[in-house]
Chain A
């Protein structure tokens, strides 16, 4: 039996699995090795004792759910975060990366999901920013700069004029520039964080060819992706993260998609979720034929009274875009909405709130509380038409409304008159939720309701969600966290690339089904 199968069948521990594999994989020396790395943030343990080895001329795929710790690891590798424990070895030598620059000097470079380049500089300047060749007067040697840039671009297979502005390039060519930049500092380790997320089919193919060339040059490549087809196409090795720990690594040739999926999600779900069974009533919201020219299409579903409907998918699957369209921030090109059987036309968020549909956005910092306004004014902002009389605000009514809902949420503040900016993050969040409840909605859409908050607060939010459903509210929960979806949702809709690709009842829900649908993997035979 293979070591990995032993692990999956729970007969050995991950460490044993690794030890077993050591004997079977190559004895090559890693270009960079992370050993026993730990990192935590206030209230969250992001990484605990993880190890990762990247070998020259090898593509290693890093696989894991959202929140598994992949981004944190990349930031440690590139010197943006400092680990609390563990060792980084470059060519066997123990090193530290106190700054991003020191990581670059050690030959580690990252190509990010969204390219971090400068639109208004030329391509050559982008490639050599920070290490441009100088002439003997210490000024930038433009001739050499442009010549070297042209050469680098040729090496990555992109015949582009290095003197034009980056702004004028398409996304795929921008990626090529990012890769050329990575090569310009003579990197030995190249990290690619979901590099294909924004590319077309043809561009992805070109990227594969480039990666093959980088491999031939002896670079160690870390390839982060959610898409299994490309992992199996391009990677030689894999490392799987789950909940901030490493749960498996080995050769791609020795593993199947099913095994990887199991490693990614294999955990107990439902133990901490205060899901209360609520009698689900008649349909409240019916959405049919919703589409948008670029973001989503064919969205049809029904939301019932007292139901929590989960929307699962990878980041960028079009869930938030659809929700924002539903509440009137963007216009769909077609589609109909019925609320309690009546056809509803929503042209602005104000009309959505009026009708009883509210959206609690994902970025609560940017899209939530209004710093500078006192707590009570934050709470009453969307409900002013109810607290006012003949066009004038009634502060007494506002205080009463704000008091009612902040007390329900157990907000801790000295006075409702204080600036919301003086509250802690958790309490600000309560103000934002109180604001939406005070509008007395029929449907509440929560976008990533527990993203970025600690475990204790998560449980409180989940309990509250159950309570809302119990009171007859219909809840749409957009979440990228499988445990949350499995723990809280009565029904789940999975979206991928702007379309609904799966619908599951709570009873038939498994983590594997969700991951397969979201990543577009066919059902195992």
Chain B
């Protein structure tokens, strides 16, 4: 039992369950399966983005440009659709995923080849990507009536009881989980963040590994760009403005260490879900949107404090066990 409580992911599951119980006391309908599925669907984009951010944070970097990348890719997707409604949607998705990866690779190259601190690089590209949207669109919006029905329908299309949007996030979770736990690149993400100096000696190219993490986060941001624009049926300069902070918050709550090297896919997913539950539950229990922000912020700090504590305790207990051998 004591050991279970020290597992970060299980702790988060318990926290989410407790949150759900508390909400149910005020609003029993919240935990109905259909509503929970809706909450998951609503959190899907955050989950996909958090997976990309996780890879970057694991390598001791950060990607502040994810939301801007999303907005730019979303705008490009919408413009392609508005100009050439006949282009099949899967091809549009492919194009924006590739574009997202390209934008991510620019971050990666700057961090790798010029050795500029990641926070500075992505702060710069954040602004550049947002500015590019303005240049492309001249500040104009692309509204629902300019998009084809197929473009808007895909994320909503039901498939085995859930919308395609939810299934795409499940697919992303499975793919990134496989990448992180079953491939040398995934292992390298952990090694580079855990001890970059040692990673160099074991033959890992630290810069290249970070570059790949940025490509992954960029590709996932590109995918999210299409999903966001088609789901909300609008594209303009400021979509998802400030969302990069939600993405980082999800990772931090999920136990991904900002210092790099520690974290897991289930953690990132649960962190995103935790934020998703709060966002969806607070309006139904009549809490103002301003209080929501404060509550989200408080939760982040509590989560980080709890993580720091479990980290420490974990070390001590296992040490005793190791000594007893």
Contact = CB atoms under 8 A, between A and B. Distances in A.
Interface of A: 327, 329, 348-354, 359, 361, 363, 366-373, 377, 381-382, 384-385, 388, 391-393, 412-414, 418-419, 421-424, 435
B203 interface: yes
Contacts of B314: 419
Contacts of B181: 393
A422 B315 contact: yes
Contacts of B325: 412-414
Contact of A349 (B194, B200, B318, B322): B200
A393 to B, nearest CB: 5
A384 B184 contact: yes
The 8 A-B pairs of least Cβ separation, nearest first, read A350-B203, A372-B194, A370-B194, A372-B261, A422-B318, A370-B195, A382-B202, A349-B203
Contacts of A354: 203
A331 B322 CA distance: 42
Contacts of A435: 202
Given A381-B204, A392-B183, A423-B322, 15 more contacts: A354-B203, A361-B198, A367-B195, A369-B198, A370-B190, A370-B199, A371-B195, A371-B261, A372-B257, A382-B203, A384-B187, A393-B182, A393-B183, A412-B325, A424-B322
Contact of A370 (B203, B261, B318): B261
Interface in B188-213: 190-191, 193-195, 197-205
A349 B190 CA distance: 18
Nearest to A361: B201
A354 B318 CA distance: 35
Interface string B109-134: 00000000000000000000000000
Contacts of B200: 329, 349, 367
Nearest to A418: B318
A70 B203 CA distance: 37
B182 A359 contact: no
30 contacts: A329-B200, A349-B203, A350-B205, A353-B202, A354-B203, A361-B198, A366-B195, A366-B198, A367-B195, A367-B201, A368-B195, A368-B201, A370-B198, A372-B190, A372-B262, A373-B190, A373-B261, A381-B187, A381-B191, A382-B203, A391-B183, A392-B183, A393-B181, A393-B182, A412-B325, A414-B318, A414-B322, A418-B318, A422-B322, A435-B202
B145 interface: no
Nearest to A381: B202
Interface in B299-324: 314-315, 318-319, 321-322, 324
Given A366-B195, A414-B321, A422-B318, A350 B261 contact: no
A367 B201 CA distance: 7
B138 to A, nearest CB: 45
Contact of B198 (A353, A367, A377, A384): A367
A388 B202 contact: no
A412 B322 contact: yes
Given A370-B194, A373-B191, A419 B203 contact: no
A371 B194 contact: yes
B311 to A, nearest CB: 10
B197 A377 contact: no
B203 A367 contact: no
Give the one of B195, B201, B205, B322 with max A CB within 10 A: B201
A159 B7 CA distance: 62
A285 B53 CA distance: 44
A298 to B, nearest CB: 26
Contacts of A384: 184, 187
B203 A348 contact: yes
A435 B201 CA distance: 11
Give the one of A329, A350, A384, A418 with max B CB within 10 A: A384
Contacts of B202: 349, 353, 381-382, 435
A349 B184 contact: no
A261 B195 CA distance: 41
A381 B193 CA distance: 14
Contacts of B187: 377, 381, 384, 393
B194 A413 contact: no
Given A412-B322, A414-B322, A373 B203 contact: no
Contacts of A419: 314-315, 318
Contacts of B203: 348-354, 382
Contacts of A381: 187, 191, 199, 202, 204
Interface string B192-236: 011101111111110000000000000000000000000000000
A388 B315 CA distance: 30
Interface in B56-94: none
Contact of B184 (A363, A367, A372, A385): A385
A369 B201 CA distance: 10
A393 B193 CA distance: 19
B264 to A, nearest CB: 11
A385 B184 CA distance: 8
A352 B187 CA distance: 20
A135 B245 CA distance: 47
Contacts of A382: 202-203
Contact of A388 (B184, B194, B319): B184
